[in-house]
């Protein structure tokens, strides 16, 4: 069976700076893969590569079997119709109502009449616990509602693969737990999910496997239990939220400062 | 000195890059307009109409006021300057040519660059920062088809129409002053106007306005999509879009006038 995602020896740079180094991972169909890491670890960059929003310096990225570098425009378009993405900010179009936002992929890709599209939109709004909010503007929604509306838009085309960028960031624990429930319900329908998060509790709850990134490299990519038991000190520092103090040799530090002048 | 040369070189490079981006956006927009429907990626008429409404119809009041004032101003200056040679009666010819060939397209272009060019840059910049452009891309909706082509088509439709409207209003404003000051009847003024104005003069202005339309849209889009940073960045690209838009219009106007007169 074709993996939902297959990344092989991915390298990416911003200018001269390497932001992803030798990243390889696979996401099986129906699997929930959580990508974790601290700030600047490269998880957002990895997500942008998986979505085809950035092209790698080298290596291959295949999403639903389509190579995002070499794939033809037509196959890329076909692939994009089978994926759904909920961005961290929600990325709802501010000039459209919630309902119009959710129906946009249907309007562009499906040949359905207005009544059918509205029914499908209301079903998805019900699924994300936002019934009756189709006529609201995004500016009228709370943070949690925006995330749920973005999720409704991400799943309106019944995708095979859903990407969620920091779904519970900035939400209170109750709302965040509600979103975790939604993710688990989605998983139960056989959808593959890639969730980028730094919320440990949420990650352990929803993940089948966890990939931990640090400084652009994968430290570990394994099952939840294996990640918890990882002997890697950096993984444990992330899991136990231990602050890593930089160790300075005062003499070398002063020397470096003097040299800089 | 070396740093100055490096900065100058960098600016030239950035300018050429933006020119290249604008050219690509123009070609891609045309491709979607002409062949999008066949590829099941049509440029939506509703999106074009919504943009046309915003760029054109909502600009009518301010275009009316400015055109009326410009027409009257041309008449005032014309009567004064021609009066120095005792040739006030030729003011209708001067007003007709200067309004239709120069003032109507220029003032309308500058107004639309300030109004719609800046709005386009701000809108696209905000969409980029809010990841809405990324959202379109991952949904398989090409942002050029969805955002740029409708704006370009609407501008290409509305700016010449606004310019034609500004011609009418400007000449009406000039007529009001000329008839009042010189004691000429309005039908006599219209008759003079008909004799003075050729279709080519109106087309000269409308042709320029079509070029301005492309410039205003592409400058707004390139600036909006090139935004970096937050609200500060949006303010910067909006200002930049207006300054570049107006500069491009004035320079094009001069080149167009020179080329046509040479030809």
ipTM of this predicted structure = 0.86
Pick among A108, A150, A196 to test the B interface (most B CBs inside 10 A): A108
Across the interface, do B130 and A52 touch by the CB < 8 Å criterion? Answer: no
CA dist., res. A96 & res. A184, Å (int): 29
Across the interface, do A80 and B139 touch by the CB < 8 Å criterion? Answer: yes
pLDDT at B216 over 80: yes
Across the interface, do A105 and B140 touch by the CB < 8 Å criterion? Answer: yes
The DSSP letter of residue A139 is: G
**How far away is chain A from the Cα of B43, in angstroms, using its nearest Cα?**
11
Task: Please tell me whether residue A193 adopts helix, strand or coil conformation.
Answer: strand
- pTM listed for this prediction: 0.86
CA dist., res. A167 & res. A148, Å (int): 9
CA dist., res. A124 & res. A117, Å (int): 11
- The residue extents of the domains of chain B are 59-262
Evaluate whether A86 touches A34 at the Cβ level (below 8 Å).
Answer: no
Compute the C-alpha angle B19/B213/B158, nearest 5°.
Answer: 155
* DSSP-H helix ranges across chain A: 43-50, 73-81, 98-109, 114-127, 143-154, 173-188, 200-206, 224-228, 233-239, 250-260
The CATH code that applies to domain A5-82+161-260 is 3.40.50.300
CA dist., res. A94 & res. A92, Å (int): 6
Q: Which residues on B lie below 8 Å from A77 (Cβ)?
A: 140
Mean pLDDT of A93-119: 94
Across the interface, do A85 and B130 touch by the CB < 8 Å criterion? Answer: no
Which member of A83, A88, A108 has the closest CB to residue B138?
A: A83
Across the interface, do B139 and A104 touch by the CB < 8 Å criterion? Answer: yes
Compute the C-alpha angle A175/A180/A185, nearest 5°.
Answer: 125
Number of other CB atoms surrounding residue A248 within 10 Å: 10
Note whether B51 contacts A: Cβ–Cβ < 8 A.
Answer: no
Tens-digit pLDDT profile for residues A119-140: 999 999 999 989 999 999 999 9
- The residue extents of the domains of chain A are 5-82+161-260, 89-158
pLDDT at A174 over 90: no
In the prediction, which pLDDT does A244 show?
A: 59
Instruction: Name the band, by pLDDT with cuts 50, 70 and 90, for residue B262.
Output: confident
Output the average pLDDT for chain A.
Answer: 89
């Amino acid at each position: 069976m074709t993996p939902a995602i297959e990344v092989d020896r991915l390298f990416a740079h911003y200018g001269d700076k390497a932001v992803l180094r030798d990243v390889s991972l696979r996401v099986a169909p129906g699997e929930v893969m959580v990508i974790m890491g601290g700030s600047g670890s490269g998880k957002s960059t990895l997500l942008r590569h998986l979505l085809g929003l950035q092209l790698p310096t080298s290596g291959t990225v295949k999403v639903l079997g389509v190579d995002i570098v070499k794939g033809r425009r037509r196959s890329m378009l076909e692939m994009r119709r089978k994926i759904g993405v909920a961005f961290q900010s929600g990325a709802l179009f501010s000039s459209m109502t919630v309902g119009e936002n959710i129906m946009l992929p249907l309007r562009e890709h499906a040949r359905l009449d207005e009544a059918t599209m509205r029914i499908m939109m209301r079903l998805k709004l019900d699924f994300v616990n936002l019934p009756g909010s189709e006529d609201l503007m995004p500016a009228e929604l709370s943070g949690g509602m925006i995330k749920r509306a973005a999720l409704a838009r991400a799943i309106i085309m019944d995708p095979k693969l859903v990407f969620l960028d920091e779904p519970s960031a900035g939400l209170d624990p109750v709302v965040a737990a509600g979103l975790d429930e939604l993710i688990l319900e989605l998983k139960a329908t056989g959808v593959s999910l890639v969730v980028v998060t730094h919320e440990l509790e949420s990650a352990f709850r929803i993940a089948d496997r966890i990939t931990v990134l640090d400084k652009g490299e994968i430290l570990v990519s394994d099952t939840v239990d294996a990640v918890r038991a990882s002997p890697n000190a950096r993984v444990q520092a992330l899991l136990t939220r231990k602050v890593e103090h930089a160790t300075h040799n005062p003499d070398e530090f002063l020397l470096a400062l003097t040299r800089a002048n | 000195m070396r740093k100055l040369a490096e900065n100058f070189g960098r600016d030239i490079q950035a300018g050429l890059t933006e020119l290249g981006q604008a050219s690509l956006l123009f070609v891609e927009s045309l491709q979607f307009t002409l062949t999008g429907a066949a590829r099941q990626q049509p440029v939506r008429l509703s999106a074009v109409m919504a943009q046309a409404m915003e760029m054109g119809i909502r600009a009518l009041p301010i275009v009316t006021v400015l055109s009326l004032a410009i027409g009257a101003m041309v008449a005032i200056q014309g009567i004064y300057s021609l009066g120095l040679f005792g040739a006030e009666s030729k003011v209708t010819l001067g007003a007709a040519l200067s309004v239709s060939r120069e003032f109507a397209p220029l003032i309308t272009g500058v107004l639309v660059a300030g109004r719609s060019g800046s709005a386009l840059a701000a809108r696209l910049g905000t969409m980029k920062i809010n990841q809405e452009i990324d959202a379109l891309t991952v949904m398989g909706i090409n942002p050029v088809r969805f955002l740029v082509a409708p704006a370009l088509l609407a501008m290409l439709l509305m700016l010449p129409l606004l310019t034609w409207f500004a011609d009418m209003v400007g000449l009406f404003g000039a007529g009001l002053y000329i008839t009042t000051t010189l004691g000429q009847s309005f039908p006599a003024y219209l008759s003079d106007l008909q004799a003075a104005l050729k279709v080519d003069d109106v087309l000269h202005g409308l042709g320029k306005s079509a070029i301005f339309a492309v410039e205003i849209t592409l400058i707004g889009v390139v600036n909006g999509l090139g935004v970096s940073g937050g609200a500060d960045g949006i303010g910067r690209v909006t200002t930049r879009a207006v300054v570049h838009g107006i500069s491009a219009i004035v320079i094009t106007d001069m080149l167009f006038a020179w080329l046509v007169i040479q030809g």
